[in-house]
Amino acid sequence: MEIKKEYEDSFKKKETIPQEQEPKIDENQRILDLLNSKEASLNTPPLPPQPEATQVASAASAPINPRTGLTNVETALLSPGEQAIRLKQRA
């Protein structure tokens, strides 16, 4: 009987999970006040002038085989189902 009592007590200990306490409203208000205060604001210098954007040269596309409608690489590497999907994407 003593073992059963210890067994039940161990379950009771496991069932009581400590719950996290929410911070008090005063603590939350203190944090908000700090964030809104001048202490929290940082004066950062402006960014230096940025270079103008340039156009990127487009990569040359592989020639499409007129018989299959796919490139040689697509024909070699894609399964027939994937080839069908690729053809639908091009259409």
Quick check: 50 and 68 in contact, CB under 8 A?
A: no
Residue 69 belongs to a domain: yes
Residue 43 belongs to a domain: no
Residue 46 belongs to a domain: no
Residue 72 belongs to a domain: yes
As a whole number of angstroms, the longest Cα–Cα distance in the chain is 87
Position 14 pLDDT exceeds 60: no
Alpha-carbon distance 71 to 83, whole Å?
10
**What pLDDT, on a 0 to 100 scale, did the predictor assign at position 23?**
59
Tens digits of per-residue pLDDT, 25-43? 678 888 888 777 766 667 7
Position 53 pLDDT exceeds 80: yes
Band of the pLDDT at 15, cuts 50, 70, 90?
low
Q: Which domain holds residue 86?
A: 64-91
Residue 50 belongs to a domain: no
**What pLDDT, on a 0 to 100 scale, did the predictor assign at position 29?**
84
Q: pTM value?
A: 0.36
Residue 88 belongs to a domain: yes
Residue 84 belongs to a domain: yes
Residues sharing a CB contact under 8 Å with residue 72, sequence separation 6 or more, in sequence order: 62, 63, 65
Position 57 pLDDT exceeds 90: no
Number of domains in the chain: 1
Name the amino acid, one letter, at 67.
R
Residue 25 belongs to a domain: no
Quick check: 75 and 65 in contact, CB under 8 A?
A: yes
